[in-house]
Structure 1
């Protein structure tokens, strides 16, 4: 039980910025539980967004509420995954060799591709979030999307190999098994099976995970913490785009 509790706290400390000043042991069992709680971190973020939406809905114009939700969304993740987007954008934008891309990926400096990528990602995310909130009568997707995005990150870590034998991706993968992925999926499935919309969303989220993972392998010969972090932002944007498309074409 202690390992499970510590694992939940570690997952929140690693993937969110919820204030949890608790020192947790970093042994094998605790880390395995932390991996199983990846979607739980998404639940914490999505649940907070859902609560704020329901508290402020009707009190503020939708465009202002959308901006508040997006600001909180970034704040709760600490911009951790946006940093991955920026690093990956600079590396891929260089059009260099694999070795050059990996070198840029490790560089802490911010280039023009990084700035442009994060600007357009947040713009598209805000527009799609506004459109979906305006179209949907059930806002359960606010909870489901952050959960699914973090589950697909776990799936990528399991399926694809890191391009180096060090770093965060390599460290987490050493403790990850199929059983951990299945247990993590149990956080997502109760949400995914409640509506046809979410079933479609979850199925296409799995597709996104494999597509992005294969793209990362093609670009860098493997994955790392930056690519997996970027995939979380990409997955959230993908989910919003898919959801809006379903509403737009009257599929659901």
Structure 2
């Protein structure tokens, strides 16, 4: 049970900026449980936004509430995944060869492509959230989308090769097996059993994972920690876009 507890704490420490000052052992079992708790960290982020939405939905104007929700979303993740988006955008936008792109991924400086990528990503996220606020049970979608995106990063790590040894993606991949994927998926089952929309979002997210993973292989001949972080942000905007499409066609 100690490894289960430490695994949950480690997942929260790695994927969020929630202050948990607990030292966790980094043995094999703990790391495997941490991977299994990746969607659980999304549940914590989503639950915080759900509470905020329920408290302020009838108080704040829609535009302000949308911005507040997105701000909390970024704050709880510490901007970690946005950093991945920025690095990937700069590298892909350089139009250099694979080695040049990999070199740019390691550069901590933000270029023009990084800035543009974040502006457009957060802008589209705001538009989607703002337009989805009136739909029934939107608070539940605020819980599910962070969970889906953090399950997606497990698929990203499992399905595609890391292009460097010793990196973050390579570190997590060596502890990830199909068993971890199946157990992690159990976090999503209660939502999918009672709502077919969540099932569709899950299936379409597999498509996103495949497309983004193949794109990463084409750009960098593999994946790394930056592409993993970018895939989380990409999955969130993808799922919001899917939900918005359902809304447009009167399906939600």
- TM-score, normalized by the shorter chain, greater than 0.5: yes
Q: Which residue of 2 aligns with 1:69?
A: 69
Q: Which residue of 2 aligns with 1:177?
A: 177
Q: Which residue of 2 aligns with 1:242?
A: 242
| Count, aligned residues | 252
Give me the whole-angstrom Cα distance separating, in 1, the residues matched to 2:164 and 2:134: 44
TM-aligned CA deviation for residue 203 of structure 1:
0.9
Give structure 1 regions of 4+ aligned residues with deviation exceeding 6 angstroms: none
Give me the whole-angstrom Cα distance separating, in 2, the residues matched to 1:184 and 1:205: 15
Q: Which residue of 2 aligns with 1:40?
A: 40
Q: Deviations over 1:98-150 (max 9, x none)?
A: 11100001111110000000011000000101111133444311000000000
Where does the alignment leave 5 or more consecutive residues of structure 2 unmatched?
none
**SS of the residue aligned with 2:216?**
helix
Q: Which residue of 1 aligns with 2:145?
A: 145
- Matched ranges for 1:64-143 at <5 A: 64-143=64-143
Query: Which segment drifts farther, 83-92 or 201-210?
Result: 201-210
**SS of the residue aligned with 1:69?**
helix
Check whether the contact 2:46–2:145 (CA below 8 A) recurs between aligned residues.
yes
Q: Which residue of 2 aligns with 1:28?
A: 28
Check whether the contact 1:86–1:110 (CA below 8 A) recurs between aligned residues.
yes
Give me the whole-angstrom Cα distance separating, in 2, the residues matched to 1:201 and 1:51: 23
Q: Which residue of 2 aligns with 1:233?
A: 233
Check whether the contact 2:132–2:138 (CA below 8 A) recurs between aligned residues.
no
Check whether the contact 2:66–2:130 (CA below 8 A) recurs between aligned residues.
yes
> What is the TM-score when the length of structure 2 is the normalising length?
0.98
Where does the alignment leave 5 or more consecutive residues of structure 1 unmatched?
none
TM-aligned CA deviation for residue 166 of structure 1:
1.6
Give me the whole-angstrom Cα distance separating, in 2, the residues matched to 1:45 and 1:250: 28
Give me the whole-angstrom Cα distance separating, in 2, the residues matched to 1:3 and 1:132: 39
Call closer, same or farther: CA 1:109–1:32 in 2, change over 3 Å: same
Check whether the contact 2:81–2:233 (CA below 8 A) recurs between aligned residues.
yes
Query: Which segment drifts farther, 224-233 or 128-137?
Result: 128-137
TM-aligned CA deviation for residue 3 of structure 1:
0.1
